[in-house]
């Protein structure tokens, strides 16, 4: 590793306040060592007591201030990068994973993983918006997202798929157990009225399930879950429907 790469790696490692002070101390010590080395090589009499004072004072005065300023700026950049990564990976309204990040996480499980997928859609959502307003609709979306996120734990991956539709993956969970989880989510959502103005608003969801056994692409399993979701909608809504895989 060349010195520039080493210095760059040092700077990229600043991810906390404690690391910031470690960086300041390290840069100061390195600056002292370099100053003494340069003095010993360039001074006519080498590093003597007389030359030791200026070669020590200069880096002690300059290096801590310069490295502290640089460390503060780098820590700010790291915090901003973390915020940007979080924003890119999460839906801003619900704090669930975004659709794109959901698929990145699923891809990270490998093509042969086994587990269940859940697609949920809020019933008659347009009617909620038309009757109670879009602010109430947003509250319903956040409420359903919160119940879904809690309901698929531990180990589940939940995301907002778009609009009033949500998706979740339950790795290593068979379809029968996933159906029980989905049913618990459905019951919880349907049993909690939301305060909208002077009245309570009850909402329901329809849920379709699919199972990934590693033999087919995830997209095919999600199509199964989507067909099951529409079967639940056509069957009267507010129900859980596993996919029929034949």
For the annotated catalytic residues, the residue numbers are 164
- The DSSP secondary structure of 162-231, one letter per residue, reads ETTEEEEEEET--HHHHHHHHHHHHHHHHH--EEETTEEE---EEEEEEEE-SSS-HHHHHHHHHHHHHH
* 30 contacts: CB under 8 Å, gap ≥ 6: none
- DSSP 8-state code for residue 97: B
Q: Tell me the C-alpha distance between 246 and 242, whole Å.
A: 12
Q: Are 209 and 229 in contact (CB under 8 A)?
A: no
CA nearest neighbour of 199 among 144, 131, 145: 131
Q: Tell me the C-alpha distance between 194 and 201, whole Å.
A: 5
- DSSP 8-state code for residue 90: B
Joined tokens for residue 60: 């002690």
For 38, the enclosing helix (H) or strand (E) is: helix 17-42
* 39 contacts: CB under 8 Å, gap ≥ 6: 46, 47, 51, 52, 55
């Amino acid at each position: 590793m060349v010195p520039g790469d080493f210095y760059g790696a040092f700077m990229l490692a600043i991810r906390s306040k404690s690391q910031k002070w470690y960086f300041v101390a390290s840069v100061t010590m390195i600056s002292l060592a370099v100053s003494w080395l340069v003095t010993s090589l360039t001074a006519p009499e080498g590093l003597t007591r007389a030359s030791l004072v200026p070669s020590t004072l200069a880096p002690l005065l300059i290096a801590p201030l310069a490295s502290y300023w640089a460390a503060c700026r780098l820590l700010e950049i790291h915090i901003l990068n973390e915020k940007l990564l979080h924003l890119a990976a999460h839906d801003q309204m619900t704090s669930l994973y975004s659709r794109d990040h959901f698929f990145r996480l699923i891809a990270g499980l490998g093509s042969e993983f086994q587990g269940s997928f859940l697609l949920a859609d809020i019933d008659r959502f347009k009617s909620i918006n038309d009757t109670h307003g879009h602010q109430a609709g947003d509250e319903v979306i956040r409420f359903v997202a919160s119940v879904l996120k809690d309901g698929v734990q531990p180990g589940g991956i939940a995301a907002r798929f778009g609009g009033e539709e949500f998706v979740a993956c339950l790795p290593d969970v068979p379809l029968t157990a996933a159906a029980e989880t989905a049913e618990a989510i459905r019951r919880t959502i349907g049993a909690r009225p939301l305060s909208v103005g002077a009245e309570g608003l009850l909402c329901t969801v329809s849920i379709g399930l699919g199972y990934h056994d590693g033999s087919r692409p995830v997209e095919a399993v999600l199509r199964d879950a989507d067909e099951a979701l529409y079967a639940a909608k056509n069957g009267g809504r507010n129900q859980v429907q596993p996919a029929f895989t034949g």
